[in-house]
Chain A
Amino acid sequence: LAKTTQPISMDSYEGQEVNITCSHNNIATNDYITWYQQFPSQGPRFIIQGYKTKVTNEVASLFIPADRKSSTLSLPRVSLSDTAVYYCLVGETYNFNKFYFGSGTKLNVKP
């Protein structure tokens, strides 16, 4: 079971770029890296997923080094509405028993 380690919390200001790093030293060959965002009393929302190198979509970028033992979620120009908990997951996408959400990172965006 590939567990993940993230900072418990981070503070940022509106307009800044935020980088959240996740460690997953025991990641397996078939594991993908997925990030979710969760607001209070709501279900997690998919942000981005990758396997190696860099992935970018309309809301975030995901950087994965060659050894894949860590990954960094980058949120460009955050706003107050980005205040949420961000979870990093690793696991084979078809075998949900291997999904481990961990404690996540509480991002607090200040005005």
Chain B
Amino acid sequence: KAGVTQTPRYLIKTRGQQVTLSCSPISGHRSVSWYQQTPGQGLQFLFEYFSETQRNKGNFPGRFSGRQFSNSRSEMNVSTLELGDSALYLCASSLGVSPLSTDTQYFGPGTRLTVL
């Protein structure tokens, strides 16, 4: 079974631009979560989508947004990029069902975004 894939793997943008990152979950997984990882803040939860609906959201500004398509693939968008947005953006997929299930998240390799 193929794992979680993220595209592109590396991206360089300048301040003020916007960027779209893509994530393809494991086949059959309906939940996709996004995380930002930086040396200073560590791994921080951005948001989670389940069946095309945002189910959970972290504490990030509105410049960070996402969506999920009917095939469970997800995209996240960052508008008006700032230098501090430079980070590794990770996507994780899981089955996402049953509140007390042992639902395991499987992470992709990440997209390394550099903002100049």
Residues of A participating in the B interface, judged by any CB pair closer than 8 Å = 30, 32, 34, 41-46, 49, 87, 92-97, 99-104
Q: How far is the CA of A51 from the CA of B98 in the complex (A)?
A: 16
Taking the closest CB of chain B, its distance from the CB of A45, in whole angstroms, is: 7
Interface centre among A43, A97, A102 (most CB of B within 10 A): A43
Q: How far is the CA of A34 from the CA of B98 in the complex (A)?
A: 17
Main secondary structure of the interface of A (DSSP, over half): loop
Total cross-chain contacts (CB, 8 A) = 68
Q: Is the CB of B33 within 8 A of A96?
A: yes
Taking the closest CB of chain B, its distance from the CB of A81, in whole angstroms, is: 18
Q: Is the CB of A94 within 8 A of B58?
A: no
Does B48 sit at the interface, judged by CB under 8 A? yes
Known A43-B90, A101-B43: A94·B104 in contact at CB below 8 Å:
no
